């Protein structure tokens, strides 16, 4: 596998469920991101991890909990979500300190019933 | 807070014509301006970028121009083809990790 891979690609969950989104980057990058993509809105940055330390947390509700066990993996744990949380969740990575270009995964389409 | 305005939100052009998408940013510290193309159900992919020390960059049918004084940057696609149909996003980066994205432009190239 190359680039940034995300699983699952599609997820339907009830408001009381607990689920996790997974992201893996094969680019040797030192930073990983979670973005939320909703219709007709700009991409919203949720979290950034650099070398496994969280460096950005953009006032995201606590029902979203990130985890970065190593520089290649990033998780987003989901708990008691709301219907308005339905969106495409994009993972990205970059190599900060050089070009810094963002490489995105294919996204996880989340539907909260 | 910082923002990036992108226009138009939708754009339809005839095949072979040119398309221009414009963005305006607010943070004068922004120094890197990428453009992403996102096809339906696919990931956003970087198609071209420009840094603040350059005024124009071209890659085949795609070009980007930057006016730092006016805080404007634009994407130009010439000789459009049906496969250019997608949503295009601009972004401005100011500082490590800090990308601010535009709201996207849906481009339709009519055959």
Residue of B nearest to A106 (CA): B43
Cβ <8 Å between B43 and A40: no
Q: Which of residues 55-84 of A touch B (CB under 8 A)?
A: 55-56
Q: Which parts of chain B have pLDDT scores under 50?
A: none
Our CA-based measurement puts residue B88 at a distance from the nearest CA of chain A, in whole angstroms, of 11
Would you give per-residue pLDDT tens digits along chain A (113 residues)?
A: 579 999 999 999 988 889 999 999 999 999 999 999 998 788 999 999 987 788 877 789 999 999 999 999 999 999 999 999 999 999 999 998 766 789 999 999 999 99
Per-position b or e across A89-107, b if 16+ CB within 10 A of its CB = bbbbbbebeeebebbbbbb
User: Looking at beta carbons, which residues of chain B come within 8 Å of A96?
Assistant: 96-97
Question: pLDDT value at position A26?
Answer: 95
- Whole-angstrom CA distances from B108 to A19, A106, B19, B20 are 36, 22, 10, 12
Question: pLDDT value at position B54?
Answer: 82
Question: pLDDT value at position A94?
Answer: 93
């Amino acid at each position: 596998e190359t680039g940034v891979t995300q699983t699952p690609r599609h997820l339907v969950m009830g408001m009381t469920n607990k689920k996790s989104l997974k992201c893996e980057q094969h680019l040797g990058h030192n930073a990983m991101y979670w973005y939320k993509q909703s219709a007709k809105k700009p991409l919203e940055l949720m979290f950034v991890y650099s070398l496994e330390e969280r460096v950005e947390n953009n006032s995201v509700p606590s029902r979203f909990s990130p985890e970065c066990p190593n520089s290649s993996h990033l998780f987003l744990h989901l708990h008691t979500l709301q219907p308005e949380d339905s969106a495409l969740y994009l993972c990205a990575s970059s190599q900060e300190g050089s070009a810094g270009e963002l490489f995105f995964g294919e996204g996880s389409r989340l539907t909260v019933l | 807070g910082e923002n990036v305005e992108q226009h138009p939100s939708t754009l339809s052009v005839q095949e072979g014509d040119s398309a221009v998408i414009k963005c305006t940013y607010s943070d004068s510290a922004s120094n890197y301006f990428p453009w992403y193309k996102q096809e339906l159900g696919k990931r956003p992919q970087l198609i071209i970028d420009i840094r603040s020390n350059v005024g124009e960059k071209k890659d085949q049918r795609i070009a980007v121009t930057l006016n730092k004084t006016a805080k404007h940057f634009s994407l130009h696609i010439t000789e459009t083809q049906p496969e250019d149909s997608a949503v295009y996003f601009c972004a401005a980066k100011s500082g490590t990790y800090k990308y601010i994205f535009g709201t996207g432009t849906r481009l339709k190239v009519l055959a």
